[in-house]
Copies of this chain bind each other. A is one copy, B any other.
Amino acid sequence: MRDQEKAEGDIDSNIIYVGNKPPMNYVTAIMAVLNSGDHTEVLLKARGNAISRAVDAAEIARNRFLTNAVVKTIDIGTEAVVSEDGRKSNVSSIEICLSIDKA
């Protein structure tokens, strides 16, 4: 369950899992990926209440720090999760792909 945060700050990967930290943590992670030179795209993934935070992070990055970045694709979906007491439930998810033009 806690692998939501695993890839954060790991710039070998261009996938950032957005969890419950302040949005600026994810903004800096986005910038680290896109400024590393290894990737021109970054994929933000979030579930449940963190969906709003993923949108916040994408918008802050795009409007304030990486004005050449564009939202390439947005997908929404539903994932089945099993809670600690064994009950199954569904949670909504989002994937936001931010892309920069290498000018």
Q: Which residues of A line the B interface, CB within 8 A?
A: 48-52, 55-56, 58-59, 63, 71, 74-78, 90, 92, 94, 96
In the bound assembly, the distance between CA atoms of A55 and B76 in angstroms comes to: 7
Number of copies of this protein chain within its complex? 2
Given contacts A52-B48, A52-B52, A52-B92, contact A59 B71 (CB under 8 A): no
A59 touches B74 (CB 8 A): no
Q: Chain B residues with Cβ under 8 A from A63's Cβ?
A: 78, 90
Q: Chain B residues with Cβ under 8 A from A75's Cβ?
A: 71, 74
A56 touches B92 (CB 8 A): yes
Cβ of A16 to closest chain B Cβ, rounded Å: 16
In the bound assembly, the distance between CA atoms of A78 and B62 in angstroms comes to: 10
